[in-house]
Structure 1
């Protein structure tokens, strides 16, 4: 049992005003994993004001990029040294399969920190020369300066607490912002490890603060006038609330929200490559991922072959204790999330869809919030199960007649985060991918459509703004024109 009795505010470990606590539950065992403070409104306000003071009066925003780079690299070095701890916590706190925690959800964000510190930050053009211009008053010249936005609220969900905190903190800190991190109440523990890492790396006091609490306390992070920018990852429902909460102070919001992304499988695709990709896209992390391709659109001529291949592949998905290195799929985060997924499965059956595989709970796992990987067929794109985000291990298989219908079905969604296209003709895949209204499209399995050197984000209800690389850094910067008369002669 991990007991955290203090919050991290202003570079110090401080007690909470509140005597209330939050208990993190191991979703594989249903046993308590840790206890953290449930921050009060006063606690959150103190964290915000510590970040405000650090931005207005501290050294961080005025440091040279090379100086901030050195501190971020020290943070990455400490992360590397404590990588095993981060993996163990990710497995226990999220219920993530160990093999996935090791290879992706801990290693990749550390690489992102390193890349942000060494490549992106040191090559970024903070002062861009402005073309000379002529007015009746004379000829002018100048620069466009990119400056840190200010105090940033970082709010992360339960499905990737360390991963998403790192992908938000690296650009925010690189830009020169000061930050307050609030993790999901389901997965609060990794945030304290990040605070220890920041402290050891020598991040100046107040530049990084951690508060843990409920959404009620978190509303201050989105509405307080001392906050300049909010970066949130979570559901579109909460994202809409955050936009309203931020509106009174007209603060900037960066939102990475939900998805119901389509994976288009053309008749000339290689099913031996397609099927593992389809399985991965709804079973990884028990389907709890916003960018997963959970609508499988397949040409009608190979529909039955694909479904038969999926059913066979499902028998090789090993469900169980995520700490077991041979397990490939762990549990959902909570009983409430399991109930939501099961309710949507029943809705699919009520609307006339059929189960090709799964749909229940694994009988060999009496403890833990487990659901079987589930494949629906006989699905219309208008059905609830084709439009609502499950955030669980469920895919729907929908046939199409030609490329135009595939694109129409893919775009017939409130969301637009990701997409995929499989075809034996790369030119055809590229052409179809260009017609999908989504922020990231994978062609023939290309890194899942995700590259740390490209922007992460979506269209429509999938969010506002972009993360990762120079695009993520740019979100935490404001633009200022500095102009002066051009010298004559």
Structure 2
């Protein structure tokens, strides 16, 4: 299916499609072929200021935040309906931009739109105003009001899903939004803007400004922004947190991870290999919650290592539209270079490269890399401590479950975690001891309708669930006299 944008050479600001003032065009390159597949407008600093002013005016002087929650919810439902009608284009855009496999793309497009519907469900159940008892007033209330103007900044790996996970609760709360998608993946945000216009979302409530890092930095420093909602690397998240701290501004940060999977003795070598290989090849390992450290019993280390290496060698690598491909390309040539550098570091620090570690001889075009297994890894090695964001798995031995938990938690990150076992009680018991925002038995599993976020340097705040909605609200206590 072709992707058809109405105004690819313009920005969406204040309810209108406008020409950029100082931005440069953004060229989208397919990682399947490394050929240009799209070109859209890029925003510069003055465009960012324009978008923030439009969102500020819509919040301060418009009707959006004064609407009843029911009215905002109805508008978000119309937006979701419009996006559903373009689900095929959204799926195609993801494959075009990052090489996501064709069979996965519709699934993630559906999850992205479901994020809006989940926000609607939580909004309907949420008490935006509640009477409480107080010795200081006969009529005491707690009301929840929108935080204000939100800068929503998303990365390139799953752009639609991550943008709607911010957009849905922000709109239901009554906020206005400036969407800043990654320059590698702007197309879905264009579709959102077009659908917002179709659904009758008031002018200035949703604005679109794709841009590079310099313009994005200008955006997040704008004093008219009330909150920055960011998903991306921990390094950039730290910069955003510092800027927000200087202005005592709200922020939510969903950042990097170096997530661990603990293998218990009751799981067979073959099942371990299937689960971990299936996880590390998902989106070519470019998932912040990726299980990239596998902790295995020392007495089974060699058997598990051999099984994973064998499974990795069977993975079919191909273009995103190849129906038999099990893993597509990395998203960019820059990302390929990053993964290659970490492989070199792993070898230099003494780890053993047991599988992969290079680009395959076929296909000849595109940004491809083999599933990679390092053995002989200790938890102090760079490849065990830093996020690689590629299909690289580190195998670490442990002597007791208690030691495995200690190793898993010995990380600057705390985004995701797993235990591979058939014993649900053991999984639950160990899961309570894992310092991570998400825990799942037997692999890489996520439910985006539930709160998601990280401990430690994996982030601040949560997206999804009621907690995600609360992140776009301010609480106000009101002490009133009862009317005569």
Category of TM-score, reference length = shorter chain: over 0.9
Specify the alignment match of 1:469 in structure 2: 465
Deviation of the 1:75 alpha carbon: 1.1
Q: TM-score, normalised by structure 2?
A: 0.96
Distance of 1:129 and 1:197 partners within structure 2: 37
Q: Any residues of structure 2 matched to 1:3-18 within 5 Å, and which?
A: 4-18=8-22
Residue 355 of structure 1 contacts residue 376 of structure 1 at CA under 8 Å; is this kept in 2?
A: yes
Give CA-to-partner distance per residue, 1:338-360, whole Å, 9 cap, x none.
11100000100011111111001
Distance 2:411 2:323 in 1: 36
Question: Is residue 116 of structure 1 aligned with residue 119 of structure 2?
Answer: yes
- Contact kept? 2:79, 2:196, Cα under 8 Å: yes
Distance in 1 between the 2:168 and 2:483 partners?
40
Secondary structure of the residue aligned to 2:308 is helix
Corresponding residue number in structure 1 for 2:188? 190
Pairs within 5 Å for 1:341-420: 341-420=339-418
Task: Tell me the alpha carbon deviations over residues 154-195 of structure 1, each in whole angstroms, 9 at most, x when there is no partner.
Answer: 000010111111111111111110000011111112211111
1:484 aligned residue: 480
CA distance in 2, matches of 1:409, 1:340: 25
Match of 1:296 among 287, 294, 297: 294
Q: What is the deviation of 1:222?
A: 1.2
Deviation at 1:133, TM superposition (A): 2.8
Match of 2:242 in 1: 244
**Which 5+ residue runs of structure 1 have no aligned equivalent?**
none
CA distance in 2, matches of 1:336, 1:219: 21
More off after superposition, 221-230 vs 320-329: 320-329
Counterpart-to-counterpart distance in 2, 1:141 and 1:102:
50
- Equivalent residue number for residue 128 of structure 1: 130
CA contact (8 A) 1:320 1:365 kept: yes
Report which stretch shifted further, 327-336 or 454-463: 327-336
Mapped to 2, the partners of 1:212 and 1:412 lie a distance apart of 37
Cα 1:362–1:143 change in 2 (3 A) is same
1:170-249 to 2 correspondence within 5 Å?
Answer: 170-249=168-247
Offset, 1:128 = 2.4
Q: Alpha carbons of 1:487 and 1:180: their partners in 2 closer, same or farther (altered >3 Å)?
A: closer
Query: Is residue 191–residue 210 contact of structure 1 (8 Å, CA) maintained in 2?
Result: yes
SS in 1 for 2:178: strand
Give 1:19 shift.
6.0
Change (3 A) 1:439 1:449: farther
Distance 2:130 2:299 in 1: 54
Q: In the alignment, is the contact (CA less than 8 A) between 2:234 and 2:458 conserved in 1?
A: yes
- What is the CA deviation profile of residues 344-402 of structure 1, one whole-angstrom value per residue up to 9, with x for unaligned ones? 00100011111111001110122211111101100011000000101001000111111
Tell me if the contact between 1:261 and 1:292 (Cα under 8 Å) persists in the aligned partners: yes
Distance apart, 1:140 and its partner CA = 4.0
TM-score (norm 1): 0.95
Give the SS at the match of 1:98. coil
Quote the Cα distance in structure 2 between the aligned partners of 1:144 and 1:234: 34
Asked if the contact 1:265–1:422 (Cα under 8 Å) also holds between the matched residues in 2, the reply is yes
Quick one: which of 429, 432, 444 aligns to 1:431?
Answer: 429
SS in structure 1 at match of 2:373: strand
> How much does 1:425 deviate?
2.3
SS in 1 for 2:134: strand
Give runs of aligned pairs for residues 304-319 of structure 1, distance below 5 A.
Answer: 304-319=302-317
Q: RMSD between aligned alpha carbons?
A: 1.7
How far residue 272 of structure 1 moved from its aligned partner, in angstroms, is: 4.4
Is the contact made by 1:41 and 1:220 (CA closer than 8 Å) also made in structure 2?
yes
Offset, 1:106 = 0.7
Q: Which residue of 2 aligns with 1:106?
A: 109
Aligned equivalent of 2:318, options 306, 320, 330: 320
Choose 410-419 or 274-283, whichever is displaced more: 274-283
CA offset digits 1:35-81 (Å, max 9, x no partner)? 12221211110000000000011111111111111111111111111
Task: Give the number of aligned pairs.
Answer: 480
Is 1:43–2:47 an aligned residue pair?
Answer: yes
Instruction: Check 1:190–1:487 CA distance in 2 against 1; reply closer, same or farther (3 A cut).
Output: closer
- Separation in structure 1 between the aligned mates of residue 110 and residue 372 of structure 2, nearest angstrom: 29
Q: How far apart are the structure 1 equivalents of 2:194 and 2:29?
A: 22
CA pair 101-211 structure 1, distance change in 2 beyond 3 A: same
Q: CA deviation at 1:453?
A: 3.4
- Mapped to 2, the partners of 1:328 and 1:450 lie a distance apart of 20
Aligned to 2:39, what secondary structure does the other structure show?
strand
Distance in 2 (CA, whole Å) between partners of 1:269 and 1:201 is: 50
Counterpart of 1:329 in structure 2 is: 327
Conserved 8 A contact 2:259-2:291:
yes
After the TM superposition, which residues 55-204 of structure 1 pair with which residues of structure 2 at under 5 Å, given as runs? 55-103=59-107, 105-117=108-120, 119-130=121-132, 132-134=133-135, 140-204=138-202
- In structure 2, what is the Cα distance between the partners aligned to 1:60 and 1:325? 45
Cα distance between partner residues in 1 of 2:299 and 2:143? 56
After alignment, is 149-158 or 419-428 more displaced? 419-428
Instruction: Provide closer, same or farther for how the CA distance between residues 358 and 63 of structure 1 changes in structure 2, counting only shifts above 3 A.
Output: same
